[in-house]
Amino acid sequence: MAKVQTDALIQKKKTPGFIVRRVLLYVVLIVIGLTMLVPFLWMISTSLKEQYDAVKIPPVWIPPVPRWQNYVDIFTEQPMFQFMLNTIKIVFFVVLGQLFFSSLAAYSFARIRFKGRTVMFFFYIATLMVPGQVTMIPTYLMFAKVGLVDNHIALILPAFFSAFGVFLLRQFFMSLPKELEEAAEIDGCNPFTTYWRIMLPLIVPAMLTLGVFTLMNTWNDYMGPLIYLTTPEKYTMTLGIAYFKGVYTTQWNLVMAGSVLSVIPILVAYLCAQKYFVEGIAFSGVKG
């Protein structure tokens, strides 16, 4: 029976109608993919232009002489290297803290039974519906009262707690068999030891997925540094790139050169974690 179904499927794939539909599908996907690449290609093209070529009408896609000096100028005109170090420091602590606290809370909501667990989780997830603009001013006033304005801690500490991260990891924890915890309990493990030594290594795909999302959001954050940081030496890359936008003119070639450098770390992180990233997205919605 299975062989008959396989042969029928093979014959169906050889029909002209099937081939035409498959070709049209690939053509549509290629067109959509190229359309999404256009802004990135324009960014790279502009980063290699002279300043006057960047605003020329009609636009020039391929600069006559690529100006690689733009990538040097962004470091000589502004302390971009210091901005990169500040961003890396903030991203490192935010990713590390969010993975730890989100996984700890997710394990508690998924595997530990306590009174009011479901209600507490519901209200915690409900905070996803609250826009960030609503909490922006109260959070700023709170940090200003304790003297943490113009301090990287004001950008790091609030990012430790993520309702999205807890939801994502909780779904993954719920897909793990309960027999693992029962075996650990028989061996004398307490709940934290079970979480740390047994359950946490099993959710590496989901952890990497959350890590990539957190890295992207923190690396590209502009509003947070703009609100809390006032000393130029503490600025992040997003604020540093904005330095090239003046009142009367904007150095678009340098802005795009800085944007290219800003995209590279995120691209590298995604490519390195792509396998686990896709696996984490695929299984994070599976319930046990």
In the predicted structure, residue 153 carries a pLDDT above the cut 80: yes
Residue 61 domain-assigned (yes or no): no
Q: For 278-284, what is the mean pLDDT? A: 55
Nearest-10 crossing angle of helices 274-283, 204-219: 110
Q: For 166-178, what is each residue's pLDDT tens digit?
A: 998 998 888 888 8
Residues 141 and 182 in one domain: yes
Task: Please state whether 189 falls in left (phi above 0), alpha (psi between -120 and 50) or beta.
Answer: beta
Residues 8 and 135 in one domain: no
pLDDT (0 to 100) of residue 4: 46
pLDDT (0 to 100) of residue 152: 93
Residue 266 domain-assigned (yes or no): yes
Q: What is the CATH number of the domain that holds 205?
A: 1.10.3720.10
Q: For 214-225, what is each residue's pLDDT tens digit?
A: 999 999 999 999
More confident call, 25 vs 6:
25
Residues 39 and 162 in one domain: no
Residue 288 domain-assigned (yes or no): no
Calpha distance 194→198 (Å, rounded): 5
pLDDT (0 to 100) of residue 14: 61
Residue 244 domain-assigned (yes or no): yes
Residues 184 and 127 in one domain: yes
In the predicted structure, residue 249 carries a pLDDT above the cut 90: no
Q: For 10-50, what is each residue's pLDDT tens digit?
A: 555 567 777 788 889 899 999 998 888 888 888 999 999 88
Calpha distance 191→194 (Å, rounded): 5
Q: What's 245's DSSP letter?
A: B
Q: For 248-267, what is the mean pLDDT? A: 86
Residue 60 domain-assigned (yes or no): no
Q: What percent of the chain has pLDDT over 90?
A: 32
Query: pLDDT band at 82, cuts 50/70/90?
Result: very high
* HEC readout, 124-180: HHHHHHCCHHHHHHHHHHHHHHCCCCCCCHHHHCHHHCCHHHHHHHHHHHHCCCCHH
Q: Which residues contact 108 (CB under 8 A, 6 or more apart)?
A: 114, 117
Amino acid letter, residue 205:
P
More confident call, 156 vs 9:
156
Calpha distance 124→171 (Å, rounded): 15
Residues 116 and 41 in one domain: no
Domain that holds residue 41: 2-47
pLDDT (0 to 100) of residue 16: 73
In the predicted structure, residue 68 carries a pLDDT above the cut 80: yes
pLDDT (0 to 100) of residue 104: 92
pLDDT (0 to 100) of residue 209: 86
Nearest-10 crossing angle of helices 80-111, 204-219: 140
pLDDT (0 to 100) of residue 248: 60
Task: Please state whether 150 falls in left (phi above 0), alpha (psi between -120 and 50) or beta.
Answer: left
Residues 133 and 267 in one domain: yes
Indicate the helix (H) or strand (E) that contains 96: helix 80-111
Residue 92 domain-assigned (yes or no): yes
- CA distances, 141 to each of 8, 51, 129, 154 (Å): 68, 41, 22, 11
In the predicted structure, residue 115 carries a pLDDT above the cut 50: yes
Residues 22 and 78 in one domain: no
Residues 116 and 13 in one domain: no
Residue 59 domain-assigned (yes or no): no
Residue 168: HSE in the Cβ half-sphere, 13 Å Cα cutoff = 28
Name the domain count of the chain. Answer: 2
Q: Are 87 and 236 in contact (CB under 8 A)?
A: yes
Render the burial of 232-244: b for 16+ CB within 10 Å, e for the rest: eebbbbbbbbebb
Residue 56 domain-assigned (yes or no): no
Residues 15 and 125 in one domain: no
Q: For 53-74, what is the mean pLDDT? A: 85
Q: Are 45 and 63 in contact (CB under 8 A)?
A: yes
Residues 97 and 156 in one domain: yes
Residues 82 and 208 in one domain: yes
Residues 169 and 37 in one domain: no
Cα 164–chain centre separation: 12
pTM of the model: 0.82
Calpha distance 164→130 (Å, rounded): 12
Query: pLDDT band at 286, cuts 50/70/90?
Result: very low
